[in-house]
Amino acid sequence: MTVFTEYFATTYDLFAPVRSGEAPQSQWDRPDRRNEVDASVGGLPSLLTVAAMDARGTADRADDVIAAISARGPGPGGSRKPDVAAPAMNLWLAAGDSNEMALRSFNSAGPANVIGAAALLRQAGVRRSLELKALLINSTTGTRWDPAWGWGAVDVGRAHAQRQGVVSGTVAPPAPGCTAAARPKAPSRQRWPGTARSSGETRGALPGRAA
């Protein structure tokens, strides 16, 4: 399943946010939580792994924390997973049985919120999945990677403001028999510091993140 997921995500340019995973309750109070990300889903390089934020029932982002149930990184082989965090727990939602609002928690709401953010950015002109992934990671509220938060909480406003900074291109192998000395010089292209690369492709990134 892992191989097929990676193949379809990279071949067909799929934008696929997934949750980082659910940690068993017996681990919630441990101070040394690490390496809980599910290798078969949340640990896949091509997917955007989302940690579950606890909104604490308020609109104020300053009091948000990572939910105890959210799996901590790093991912397989020490990979920096999760990538980002998004609200999933203690959210005010429309109640299904009345016209009132109700406080609800869904671990899967994190990826759903990220999909909504990506849809807005796609409407704003960011089309390719790798560009969306790079933009959402580089515009988060964090400044460094953290095992619980990833690169930080998704910030749609910052992502929209920084959307013009996304650049992408391809890297082709040299022609047969072409030595380094004789190889034609590639046209110069401005690239933001910290640009990530994956599967022979340059993914646009913005200042403030190391790939």
**pLDDT (tens digit per residue) in 32-50:** 899 999 877 788 888 999 9
Q: What crossing angle do the helices spanning 109-123 and 129-138 adopt, rounded to 10°?
A: 110
* Domains of the chain (ranges, CATH numbers): 2-165 (3.40.50.200)
Q: How far is Cα 89 from Cα 101, in angstroms, rounded to an integer?
A: 15
Q: How far is Cα 20 from Cα 40, in angstroms, rounded to an integer?
A: 11
**pLDDT (tens digit per residue) in 68-119:** 999 999 998 999 999 999 999 999 888 877 788 888 898 889 999 999 999 9
pTM as predicted: 0.76
Residue 19, phi then psi, degrees to nearest 5: -75, 155
Average pLDDT, integer, range 171-185: 63
pLDDT for residue 191 is more than 70: no
Helices (H), the chain: 2-11, 109-123, 129-138, 156-161
Q: How far is Cα 80 from Cα 178, in angstroms, rounded to an integer?
A: 36
How high does pLDDT run on average in the chain? 82
Average pLDDT, integer, range 177-197: 48
